[in-house]
Structure 1
Amino acid sequence: MNRRSRRASAFAAMAALVVITPTLGDAAVVPFLALAGLFLFGIRDGEWFETLALPGDREAERLYGIGSFALALAGLAAFATWPRVPLPFGAFAAAALVVGGGRPGRAAFERRFDGEFELVGGYLVGAGLAAVAGQTAVALIAGDIAPGAVVEALPVFTFLGAVAALTAALVRSLVYARDAHLTVVIVAFVVWGFTTLEPTVSALGIAVGLAVTVGLGYVSYALGAASVPGMLTGVLLALLTVVLGGPGWFLVLIAFYSIGALASKYRFDEKADRGVAQENEGARGTGNVLANSAVALLALLGYAATDHVDVPAIVFALAFAGAFATALADTLSSEIGGLFDDPRLITTLRRVEPGTDGAVTWQGELAGLSGAVLVGTIAGVAMPVGDPLVGGVIVAAAGVGGMTVDSLLGAVIEGGRIGNQTVNFLATVSGAAIAVAAGVTLA
């Protein structure tokens, strides 16, 4: 076993201690504080130091990586035993074991693969399995479920474990390897939030959701439509949409991602020569994915929480569909319209150079209208947006309205500190708002 594997095993062994925390009560922080002291102040050199040191630890001559991870676990243990706002032990276990299990999973795959996609896959497999096992063990030890009820609880544990693993892999792709403490805290609070929603998950639903979303994630990465962080973000959003929304919501999301990706790749070299091609050779990163999807994600979470908030479900459905109608309309307008000459600035209608912020062509506007109508049709047929015809028209109109707002914002404020992703986000906000306002007015 090489040093990387031994280091991963040490992280995993420490994370595994969370399964006994329900039995320790207020003393749950003690083992983690003791380990933090050992790593930060006790081991300063020697073979163990060389084995456990992460990049940057050797220069500091202190095991900040694993020591900070132990401190983070101690803090989460304190939250889990705090009577006023207790962090569920299941969320604590999922977060700790996702980080602890992900590292050995990645290390195991490194022996056979060297591609980033495969290594991320190893991390997800190890993290997901460890998270499910940890939640199951903690639930049994804490007496939350009987041994005979494990099978019934597995779909929810699997969903939460998959969310935890994808979140951890995404955070890991955006920070440094030594930031395990940051990863575990973020994952713990994310899982805590989804636990509060009390999602209803069936075995078939989670199986289909994982199979479809992972397959789509692989295809998007293989075709160069998304970077690894972008792929992870998309897969996480897709999984949440399948499980918390349903097939209709998922169809709307996939309409945007699939058609948008194809449009970005369509005649890419020609668009690159004209200076209007998507950056990173059309591969969407996390920022791009979230700029177009953050509003829809919030609407999805609101829909999942309708039992806890006094807001009709149709409001969240219209916001979700309106945001994605805007995103697809804007993407098609830009990707198709950029192939044609003589664009005009939307605010003055004077001719400008291709690629100018706020420039439109009639061909692009027609493509955008088609995208908005497509999303409106799907939403009207497959989502709870009220009357199918009225709801579909509202969503399509919101998409066109949001696309127009995007062009106006591009002409007026884009550039300098305001970038394209910010404009895209504001446009989806406007599309969602138009859909909700029209839906409430016509209700």
Structure 2
Amino acid sequence: MARAKLQWQSKTILLLVFPFVGADVVLEAHWWATQMPLVAVWTLGLSALLGLVAFLVRSATAGAALAGAAITASLMFATVSFPYVPWKTGLVPVLVLLVITSLATRLGRKRKEKLGTAESKRGREPSQVAANLGVAALVSNGLALSWMVKQSWLPVAKVFPAAAFCVGLAALAEAAADTVSSELGQVLSGNPRMITTFRRAEPGVDGAISAGGTVAGIVAGGLVAASGAWVLDLGWRMFALSWIAGVFGLFFDSLLGATLEQRGWINNDAVNFLSTASAAGFALGLLALMPMRFL
């Protein structure tokens, strides 16, 4: 009943993410179709294909697959570079995230079903996709836009559009780290401990962490950060920055789970959205502190 009362939070996240993402995809697709049609064709085609695959393998419901395709297209448009190569965009880290989180969700499913923590066989819902991937799309497009129009209120975004994307990449790394740590922690470790008190807790309890799950999550976040840094030629500093920020978000997620979620103040979608936002914010702070010669 408490979770049902908090569904307004999931709906709010949907309203925060998808009007912007939908408008961005439509406007970007129209602009590229008139300037360089191949960008629009590849972006819309590959993002739609990724959404279809997610639906067919039951990683997402039809609505969630459509939402994921829209976010992927938005991230691809935000990371176009020249000479244009379709896979040298935000597509790759999203693809890596989808693969590793899908595998982690399926691993040890029987044990998770016994614990009552298994993901629905229908796949993730649109609100879950928005909560996990929405921040990456919002900040990547927002910072890229501020760079293009050279707004003085955010000097760090003037440096280089790809550097701005590492903020969104941090959010993607956190989403992967959180999902994998939660899913594999129930399989790789025994009783986890609460992040706030270090007391033993049952697997699946909000805010409980385990050594195995945490290590798996950190590795997953690193894979997503590395894939994004590699395809966009961000360099090892931007890779490290997005990975560190993603790990920060992973622990922030557990802290929110052990406090606000445990008390019934926020639901899991809100936790995930705020955690990816914390990773993006942490990355932006690190970017602002880095000497210009390192960017």
2:34 maps to 1:194: no
In the alignment, is the contact (CA less than 8 A) between 1:299 and 1:320 conserved in 2?
yes
The one-letter code matched in structure 2 to 1:414 is E
Query: Which has the larger Rg?
Result: 1
2: distance between equivalents of 1:191 and 1:367? 34
* Equivalent position of 1:149 in the other structure: none
2: distance between equivalents of 1:333 and 1:196? 36
* Equivalent position of 1:220 in the other structure: 54
* Equivalent position of 1:374 in the other structure: 223
In the alignment, is the contact (CA less than 8 A) between 1:265 and 1:282 conserved in 2?
no
* Equivalent position of 2:66 in the other structure: 232
* Equivalent position of 1:408 in the other structure: 255
Distance verdict in 2 for CA 1:192–1:254, change over 3 Å: closer
- What is the CA deviation profile of residues 3-42 of structure 1, one whole-angstrom value per residue up to 9, with x for unaligned ones? xxxxxxxxxxxxxxxxxxxxxxxxxxxxxxxxxxxxxxxx
Match of 1:395 among 217, 225, 242: 242
Match of 2:204 among 350, 355, 369: 355
2:139 maps to 1:292: no
Match of 1:328 among 176, 193, 198: 176
The one-letter code matched in structure 1 to 2:108 is R
Match of 1:258 among 96, 99, 105: 99
Higher mean alpha-carbon deviation, 238-247 vs 339-348, is at 238-247
* Equivalent position of 2:43 in the other structure: 209
- What is the CA deviation profile of residues 206-244 of structure 1, one whole-angstrom value per residue up to 9, with x for unaligned ones? 332233222222221111110111011011112222233
Residue 419 of structure 1: CA displacement? Answer: 0.4
* Equivalent position of 1:338 in the other structure: 186
Distance verdict in 2 for CA 1:197–1:267, change over 3 Å: same
1: distance between equivalents of 2:239 and 2:89? 13
How many residues are matched? 255
Distance verdict in 2 for CA 1:218–1:437, change over 3 Å: same
TM-score (norm: length of structure 1): 0.53
The one-letter code matched in structure 2 to 1:224 is R
* Equivalent position of 2:154 in the other structure: none
In the alignment, is the contact (CA less than 8 A) between 1:199 and 1:304 conserved in 2?
no
2: distance between equivalents of 1:437 and 1:199? 32
2: distance between equivalents of 1:397 and 1:192? 30
- What is the CA deviation profile of residues 154-206 of structure 1, one whole-angstrom value per residue up to 9, with x for unaligned ones? xxxxxxxxxxxxxxxxxxxx9xxxxxxxxxxx79x927983699557533223
Residue 431 of structure 1: CA displacement? Answer: 0.5
2: distance between equivalents of 1:393 and 1:215? 30
1: distance between equivalents of 2:68 and 2:226? 23
The one-letter code matched in structure 1 to 2:261 is E
In the alignment, is the contact (CA less than 8 A) between 1:234 and 1:289 conserved in 2?
yes
1: distance between equivalents of 2:132 and 2:114? 25
**Which runs of no fewer than 5 residues in structure 1 stay unpaired?**
1-173, 175-185
Higher mean alpha-carbon deviation, 296-305 vs 407-416, is at 296-305
Distance verdict in 2 for CA 1:194–1:347, change over 3 Å: same
Match of 1:430 among 267, 275, 278: 278
Percent same amino acid at aligned positions?
29
Aligned with 1:351: secondary structure?
coil
2: distance between equivalents of 1:434 and 1:268? 33
Distance verdict in 2 for CA 1:417–1:393, change over 3 Å: same
2: distance between equivalents of 1:375 and 1:347? 28
* Equivalent position of 2:115 in the other structure: 274
RMSD: 2.6
Does 1 or 2 have the higher relative contact order (CA < 8 Å, sep 6+)?
Answer: 2
* Equivalent position of 2:5 in the other structure: none
* Equivalent position of 1:24 in the other structure: none
The one-letter code matched in structure 2 to 1:316 is A
Residue 436 of structure 1: CA displacement? Answer: 1.4
Aligned with 1:422: secondary structure?
helix
Residue 262 of structure 1: CA displacement? Answer: 2.1
2:229 maps to 1:420: no
Aligned with 1:348: secondary structure?
coil
In the alignment, is the contact (CA less than 8 A) between 2:79 and 2:162 conserved in 1?
no
* Equivalent position of 1:28 in the other structure: none
- What is the CA deviation profile of residues 342-399 of structure 1, one whole-angstrom value per residue up to 9, with x for unaligned ones? 11101111101111100011000110110121122223323364xx111111111111
Aligned with 1:248: secondary structure?
coil
In the alignment, is the contact (CA less than 8 A) between 1:326 and 1:431 conserved in 2?
yes
2: distance between equivalents of 1:248 and 1:195? 15
2: distance between equivalents of 1:296 and 1:336? 24
In the alignment, is the contact (CA less than 8 A) between 2:61 and 2:125 conserved in 1?
yes
